[in-house]
Amino acid sequence: MMKKAVYPGTFDPVTNGHLDVIKRGSVVFDALVVSVGCNPLKDALFSVKERMEMIREHVRDLKNVEVDSFNGMLVDYLKKQQTNIILRGIRTISDFEYEFQRALTNRVLNREVETVFIMTSEQYSFLNSTLIREAVSLGGSVSPFVPPYVESRLIEKFKHMHRKHTE
């Protein structure tokens, strides 16, 4: 039986830590769907389409990885994807507490849902998209944390935003 998992997230932007989890998850599962969630409670820097494009750019060599997006409840999206497995990356103890609560909530919503955690490689354990966006907005380099293509997209996005604010 083929094992398929969904790795959901906002990926705003995708980081080397995310890509690490994707690569490692692609070895564990026969099929992995990296799915960009549309969260109305978060103000995203990049559109869903842009985020999907940045992820696709970096997973094209992983033949069992697909990039998609979803709106609404993750448990409903899992049914659409015909799987009951969620993949999540864990960086820190606080991540585990947060993800543990989410996993239990998803299981209450659908008893068949299982969450599988992969520990992020130690060199990415402190990374998060918010810190990366903040660093670029202040003119810092984030080259150790994101692929060059993502860094160039971030720089361009903030240049464009800066021009809008100074006009």
Q: Which pair of structure tokens corresponds to residue 101?
A: 């609560």
Q: Which pair of structure tokens corresponds to residue 79?
A: 């049914």
102 assigned to active site: no
94 assigned to active site: no
DSSP string, 86-98: EEEEE-SHHHHHH
The residue annotated as part of the active site, out of 42, 79, 159, 162, is: 42
Domain residues for the domain of 35 are 4-125
80 assigned to active site: no
127-132, long-range: CB < 8 A, 24+ apart = 127/15, 127/16, 127/17, 127/91, 128/15, 128/17, 128/91, 129/10, 129/11, 129/12, 129/13, 129/15, 132/13, 132/15
Query: Considering the chain, what percentage of its residues have pLDDT values greater than 90?
Result: 78
pLDDT at position 164 over 70: no
Q: Domain of 38: which CATH number?
A: 3.40.50.620
Over residues 41-64, the pLDDT tens digits come to: 888 999 999 999 999 999 999 999
- Tell me what the pLDDT averaged over the chain comes to: 92
0.85 exceeded by the pTM?
yes
Q: Is 89 contained in some domain?
A: yes
51 assigned to active site: no
The residue annotated as part of the active site, out of 4, 58, 91, 153, is: 91
Q: Is 155 contained in some domain?
A: no
Over residues 6-50, the pLDDT tens digits come to: 999 999 999 999 999 999 999 999 999 999 999 888 889 999 999
Residues 65-92: what's their mean pLDDT?
95
Number of folded domains in the chain?
1
